[in-house]
Amino acid sequence: MKTIIFLLFIIPTLLLSQDIDKYEYYVGTDPGVGNGTIVMVGPDESVSFLDSIPSSTFSPGLNMVCIRFGNDDAIWGLAKCMFILYTPTSQDSIIVLEYFFDDDPGLDEGQKIDLTEESIDIDNIEVSIVGLETGLHKIGMRAGNSANQWSPTVSQTFFIAKAIDPIELVSGEYYIDEDPGLGMANELSIAPSNQIFDEFEITLNGLSPGFYTLCVRFLNEFDEWSSTQCSPFFIQEFFDGTPGIAAGEFWIGTDPGVGNANDIRFVEPGKMAILFDQAMLTGLAPGTHTIYSRVKDSSGTWSMIYNFDFTIDAQGVPVLVYPADMATDVEIIPKTDWNAVPTATSYNIEISTDFVEFDDNIIFSESVAFLTELIIPEGILDTNKTYYWRVNAIVGGNETDWSAYYTFTTKDDLVKFVIQLSQGWNMISSNVESDVSSLPSITSAISDKLVIIKDNGGNIYYPQFEIDLIENWDISQGYQIFMNEAANLNIWGSIVNPTQEVISLNAGWNMVSYLRNSNMAPPTALNSLVQAGLLVIVKDNLGNIYYPDFEIDTIELMKPGQGYQMFLINSFDLTYPAN
């Protein structure tokens, strides 16, 4: 029979900026950084699992096992610890592993791996992911012994990418000026293909001289339409139907020389169509401009230069949406919003404390590309104060006029809760119900130092890759947050009453918030769990533990701002004592 001490999946993201070349582990008391059992690893920045530690390392009973990683500059990360109850008798040997994806079905309800089979390679256990959809998933694994006792569950997040096969385009359509709706325009006949290189002849006969816009889009084999691509063009009555014109060219601005300008297409004798590349117009300021043209006959003789004027209308200005004018009770970390300006490539937003001398009292100024919303970071606005804001757009490299300014007043009953974050991993919680719920808003002031946040369910917020599976902050949860630099996280909101907040805990591991506004010893704060006989162990961010059955308490005091991991043998509703 094979005996496993433990199996731990871990990705050492503690030292993101350097190559990890070693890790060390120890059992029990920390011997000091670099004084544990050191294992050298290859140049990769991650270790897929920690090999089993020889059983001779353990003492009968509860053992604390810790691991930390070091880089090639001899800088060590924080120690991560787990607890093992070691009983050397054969009847308590681990005989089975079970695993599950995403949702925990409960102890002894997962997919089983029989460790008594001689064919099992303990160091390389494979599980099937057939049937899982593309996207982020979580795998959980735990070990069971012959007495049907189970270890804590170890989990890891992984990603299944979608295999992208070439998608065939099966048809297309075009329209001029007014969009009649998807599938309602003029048909373009194409041979099914994943690329379109064909040239299409589109009749413009009957159109009077003037500016038009030609738009094209294509349909794929899954009945999905592409984005619509548009180009402006101009039809001009040329001469009086003079015959013998073989070709022509046009330009805006400086004459590039005969034969070097843009080709003219002729709609019918005496009419020419000038097709503009969109880039030719986007760089032009609002106002009147001149197009120059010339034609040549069949003998190659060029005409004199003709010209006509066209006008680019002055672009509109953004219309502010939120905060609305004269709005009250506005968050101090608001997500501002405004309506788009056609063809705008970016927007400027300004906030001032005075509308008469707006420019001299600006407290916030920011540019945003393409988007029509922006979160105002924490620390810019104060409570119970009136502000003025405005937005303008950048169109063709030129600024539009500023929008009309709107005024708003922030809430006046908010408190600030400060959570001190150290470099590396932190486990945190808040006893203040945040005034805003989204993680991008709450963490806006530390976005340049924040790497990743994980919640109790294994969901992550990873701003660098625009992944947000957590979405909103839950006051009952603890969160693990990795920082590349120490900082303070300020949460503005309302203080909660711990006696009125019920925290629903599940069987197994939970990452839990501490809702009181002062310190309290774990036996007192968690007395209801202890009396119910359901609490196995509590861990804090530093690896300290509270283990009631063995009367071990190295946490000593639970503190506001800290999150805690708790292992329960059954579900329970936790309510903390009063402040």
pLDDT of residue 461: 92
Highest average pLDDT, of 85-99, 211-225, 297-311, comes from: 211-225
Q: Which two tokens stand for residue 248?
A: 């022509």
Which residue type is seen at 553?
A: D
The CATH number that domain 168-313 falls under is 2.60.40
Residue 167 has φ and ψ, to the nearest 5°, of -105, 130
In sequence order, which residues have a C-beta less than 8 Å from that of residue 531 and are 6 or more positions away?
none
**pLDDT 10s digits, 558-578:** 999 999 999 999 999 999 999
* Mean per-residue pLDDT, 68-81: 74
CA distance 351 to 380: 9
Q: Which two tokens stand for residue 495?
A: 């203080």
* Mean per-residue pLDDT, 153-180: 76
pLDDT of residue 3: 33
**pLDDT 10s digits, 350-402:** 999 988 888 999 999 999 988 889 999 999 999 999 999 999 998 877 888 88
pLDDT of residue 450: 93
* Mean per-residue pLDDT, 529-536: 93
pLDDT of residue 332: 93
What's the angle, vertex CA 139, arms to CA 136 and CA 143, rounded to 5?
175
Asked if the bond preceding 498 is cis, omega within 30° of 0, the reply is: no
Q: Where are the beta strands (DSSP E) in 238-361?
A: 245-252, 262-263, 265-268, 271-275, 287-297, 306-312, 320-322, 327-330, 335-338, 344-352
Of the pLDDT bands very low, low, confident and very high (cuts 50, 70, 90), residue 426 is very high
Of the pLDDT bands very low, low, confident and very high (cuts 50, 70, 90), residue 50 is very low
**pLDDT 10s digits, 159-172:** 776 655 667 888 88
Q: Are 408 and 328 in contact, with CB atoms under 8 Å apart?
A: yes
CA 167 → CA 1, 160, 162, 164, 410, distances in Å?
Answer: 52, 20, 14, 8, 50
* Average pLDDT over the chain, rounded to an integer: 81
CA distance 474 to 247: 69
pLDDT of residue 85: 59
pLDDT of residue 270: 60
Locus of tokens 């959570």: 419
* Mean per-residue pLDDT, 116-143: 77
Percent of the chain at pLDDT > 90 equals: 32
Q: Which two tokens stand for residue 305?
A: 């230069």
Residues of the chain with CATH 2.60.40.10: 320-410
pLDDT of residue 136: 74
Whether the per-residue pLDDT at 36 is higher than 80: the answer is yes
DSSP 444: G
Whether the per-residue pLDDT at 553 is higher than 90: the answer is yes
Whether the per-residue pLDDT at 41 is higher than 80: the answer is no
DSSP 441: H
- Closest among 100, 161, 80, 12 to 465, alpha carbons compared: 161
* Mean per-residue pLDDT, 482-487: 92
Q: Which of 158-172, 454-468, 499-513 shows the lowest mean pLDDT across its residues?
A: 158-172
Where b means 16+ CB within 10 Å and e means fewer, 206-244 reads: ebeeeebebbbbbbeeeeeeeeeebebbbbbebeeeeee
Second-level CATH architecture of 320-410: Sandwich (2.60)
pLDDT of residue 28: 78
